[in-house]
Amino acid sequence: MTITLSKRTPGDQPSEAPWRYSASWGSRGTRITDARHAVRSLLARAGHHPRKRPSHDAQLVVSELVTNAVRHAPGPGELLLEVTPDAAHLRIVVCDSSPLPPRLQAPDAGRIGGHGLNLVTRLCEQVYTIALKTGKRVVADLPLHPAAG
């Protein structure tokens, strides 16, 4: 996994610049724990405590999307994370080599697996797929501050 992560402290980060992280992997995939650690670290640098719900939600979404890419696509992939300058939203982008978009499955409490994308769509404001020449890009926008009320 190739990692690029801003080494600036929160005080050094320009207020108009987002916090960013990117990683790529080859045909052997990547460790999902590395992806969870990356989002947890990025959010901590942006001011979100690792033990609070925004970080937990982000780790779950990243884990599900990266797991799907590694499990269902035969080749290289990429994870891009971007926290807005106000640290209120996280954009998660996962690229993989499969042309097939992720499929929401009907809820079935008796089924093992196949529940992750339902969780992702419930947590995120939007989730969409962009077809690429060699695969797809799955984009998820996650709010980081709990809704009022």
| CATH 3.30.565.10 assigned to 2-7+18-143 | yes
Give one DSSP letter per residue of the chain, joined into a string.
-EEEE----TTTS-TTSPEEEEEEE-TT---HHHHHHHHHHHHHHTT--TTSHHHHHHHHHHHHHHHHHHHH--S-EEEEEEE-TTSSEEEEEEEES--SPP-PPPP-TT-SS--HHHHHHHHSSEEEEEEETTEEEEEEEEE-SPPP-
Q: If pLDDT is split at 50, 70 and 90, which confidence band does 15 have?
A: low
Q: What is the mean pLDDT of residues 78-90?
A: 96
Average pLDDT value for the chain: 87
